[in-house]
Amino acid sequence: MVAADGAMTHAARTRLADFVQSGDVVVANDASTMPASLMGTHAPTGAPVEVRLAGWGTDRIGDTARFVAVVFGNGDYRTRTEDRPPPPKLSPGDRLTLGPLRAVVAEVRVPARLVVLAFEGDAASTWAGLAQHGKPIQYAHVDAPLALWDVWTPLAGPPAAFEPPSAGFVLDWQMQSGLRARGAHIATLTHAAGLSATGDDILDAALPLREPYSIPSGTARAVRDARAGGHRVIAIGTTVVRALEHAAAHGGMRAGHGVADQRIGAGTRLRAVDVLLTGTHERGTSHYELLRAFAGDEHLDAASAALDAHGYRTHEFGDSMLVVATRTPRRVENRAVAALAA
């Protein structure tokens, strides 16, 4: 725990429930991760490519008409993303052969490896092709190839995410039971978590991309009731923060669909979330910038130094941070951070 004096508490992640209070509402992202990495060829040149689906092209979860995607040249996840070669020159109308799937480049964005793809065939054939040919997106820090179930959290439901909402890995059945025993309420929403890295500095600086979400009526009500009753809302992961804060900033905490298109950082006024459970993040990333809405730089600097000194693991299968922001009438102040090791 990093409080005003800079002290930090280290704890096993299995002790998460010890940091939860009766009346807290714990909100998790129930999106299951799709097999969004597709190997194939660029038809005009015959060059090999890897397509990583990165977003829903129509801003509607489940609409397979179009996808936003990042395209790489030859290679696979065993090469660091930043070292991957770019794809061949892509132009609108180019066709890509991706196993059983055929896709057309509908739009080329900036930078040029970011495209909008339209898959040929109906939704059923697209889903079947993804299931048959797609693999989970992964990065070089994990040597063994990931199976689809490796990137599904215990609460995984509708296929919506392109990378795992990895903070949710902590919520196994025993943890859920422990949270409820402490008097917490567990709720879910669905948020289309996008890519964490693209290998392009310009594109990485623009992350996260637009990410649609859906908040059930029960979750919206639980968040409203917690805020009205003086209880805390605990977000399991940055995607939950993005969804809840977007909803809270656009007409209050209402149920339904939305598209998180905002950037959350040091100047963001938090309206919905009081506590964040997240992985450990590197400075300069969009995830780290989001942490700055919860904690001052001096506290985050101290936390980063302590995490490094204790060998905490980064990335989606690493350790966790619990960032607690004490509510005040003006904005979130008097922050504190707890680090949780797996």
Overall number of domains in the chain: 2
Residue 4 lies in a domain: no
Task: Please indicate, yes or no, whether residues 119 and 254 belong to a single structural domain of this protein.
Answer: no
Residue 210 lies in a domain: yes
Residue 2 lies in a domain: no
What per-residue confidence (pLDDT) applies to 337? 57
Q: With pLDDT > 70 as the criterion, what percentage of the chain qualifies?
A: 93
Residue 201 lies in a domain: yes
What SS3 string covers 75-114? Answer: CCCCCCHHHCCCCCCCCCCCEEEECCEEEEEEEECCCCCE
Round to whole Å and give the CA distance between 121 and 64: 10
Domain that holds residue 54: 36-133
Is the per-residue pLDDT at 127 higher than 60? yes
Is the per-residue pLDDT at 258 higher than 50? yes
Residue 3 lies in a domain: no
212 upstream amide cis, omega within 30 of 0: no
Task: Please indicate, yes or no, whether residues 306 and 234 belong to a single structural domain of this protein.
Answer: yes
Task: Please indicate, yes or no, whether residues 221 and 241 belong to a single structural domain of this protein.
Answer: yes
Residue 25 lies in a domain: yes
Instruction: For residues 73-89, give the mean pLDDT.
Output: 95
Higher-confidence position of 280 and 138: 138
What per-residue confidence (pLDDT) applies to 336? 53
Task: Please indicate, yes or no, whether residues 222 and 259 belong to a single structural domain of this protein.
Answer: yes
What per-residue confidence (pLDDT) applies to 338? 60
Task: Please indicate, yes or no, whether residues 181 and 321 belong to a single structural domain of this protein.
Answer: yes
* pTM beyond cutoff 0.95: no
Residue 140 lies in a domain: no
Round to whole Å and give the CA distance between 36 and 101: 13
Task: Please indicate, yes or no, whether residues 334 and 286 belong to a single structural domain of this protein.
Answer: yes
Q: What is the CATH number of the domain that holds 299?
A: 3.40.1780.10
Task: Please indicate, yes or no, whether residues 176 and 303 belong to a single structural domain of this protein.
Answer: yes
**Which of 133, 160, 187 is the C-terminal boundary of a domain?**
133
